[in-house]
Amino acid sequence: MPVYTSEALILRTYKLGEADRIVVFLTRDRGKKRGVAKGARRARSKFIGALEPMTCGGVAYYEREQRDLVRINYIEPSRSPLSAIGGSADLLGHVGYFAELIDEWAQEAHADERLYRLGSSMTDAIAQGAPVERLARYFEYWILRLQGVYPAIAGCPGCGEVFEHGAVMPPRDDVFLCRTCAPPAGGSALGSEALQFLKSCGAIAPDRLGSLPLGTRAAREIETVHRRLLNLHLDKELRSTRVLREMRK
């Protein structure tokens, strides 16, 4: 039974039997795995503090023949969202949101190092108490882009014009058009501030989001188009999205 060690990102856990947990984690080099952490729920378990969603660290596990579940030997957390304890409920709530989105897109047995790196950079940003709204929009931009489904934001595919005064995502479509090419009614608009923010997202690391301005209105515009893109490509609404919405009420 070969033992693998890898950097990994914990995505979620489920209770298993009396005292164990099933752990879903994204390895840097071998895709998403599901494994058993024996005794993880006991008071003095070696896994305590290591299984929060979005924990980054070294994981050792071995695969068993003809079993879907790997067996986890240890997890050595290097960075953890537990450092954000004391932050806002919204920030802590987003830990689950980030984890759910990565879990939705990560594939088993298919390494995706860029997705792993995006996830681990989120953990750093959370631990540093990054502005949560900007961080969430940044994360959505990147996860959609890594999946190759982010529409072009440089210019209008209809007429080739560079977006100067904002763009519109028409209803039932997933591209950005200029206001001339977009149908006269409906759709989700992005103002120039929102577009500027998205362009900057493509060029900076998440720990620098604090210096990137984003007003409430522009943030709402981006959230709306991202929600539409995510629902379209995942073909459903995420559970965490509903919970975060309820928490904000």
Partner 1 sequence: MSRPDPLTRLIEQLQRLPGIGAKGAQRLAFHVLKTPREDVERLVDALREVKDRVTYCSTCSNITETDPCFYCTDDSRDHRMICVVEEPENVTAVEKTRDFKGLYHVLMGALSPLHGVGPDDLKIKGLLERVGKGGVEEVILATNPNVEGEATAIYLAKLLKPLGVRVTRIAMGVPVGSDLEYADEVTMHKAMEGRREV
Identified binder of Zn ion from the candidate list 158, 171, 183, 213, rule CB under 5 A: 158
With CB under 5 to 8 Å by kind, the binding choice for 232 among partner 1, Zn ion, none is none
CA 140 to chain centre: 6
Region 26-55 residues binding partner 1, contact defined as CB under 8 A? 41-43, 48-53
**Number of residues this chain uses to bind partner 1 (CB under 8 A):** 39
Closest contact distance (angstroms) between CB of 191 and Zn ion is 16
Binding of partner 1 at residue 130 (CB under 8 A)?
A: no
- Residue number with CB closer to Zn ion (171 or 215): 171
Question: Which residue of 88, 107, 192, 231 would you call a contact of partner 1, by CB under 8 A?
Answer: 88
Q: Which of 32, 215, 9 is nearest to 107 (CA)?
A: 32
Is the Cβ of residue 3 or residue 89 nearer to partner 1 in the bound state?
89
The residue from 25, 61, 97, 197 that contacts partner 1 (CB under 8 A) is 97
From the list Zn ion, partner 1, none, which binds 8 (C-beta under 5 to 8 Å, kind-based)?
Answer: none
Site for Zn ion in 177-196 (CB under 5 A): 178, 181
Query: Shortest distance, CB of residue 86 to partner 1, whole angstroms?
Result: 8
Q: How far is CA 26 from CA 34, 38, 188, 245, in A?
A: 9, 19, 33, 27
Cα–Cα distance, 78 to 128 (Å, whole number): 14
Identify what 146 binds: partner 1, Zn ion, none; CB under 5 to 8 Å per kind: none
CA distance 122 to 205: 10
The verdict on 159 binding Zn ion (CB under 5 A) reads yes
Q: Is the dihedral of CA 195, 197, 201, 202 positive or negative?
A: positive
**Residue ranges binding Zn ion (CB under 5 A):** 156, 158-159, 178, 181
Residues that bind partner 1 in the complex, under the rule CB under 8 A: 12, 15-18, 41-43, 48-53, 80-82, 84-89, 92-97, 99-100, 239-240, 242-244, 246-247, 249
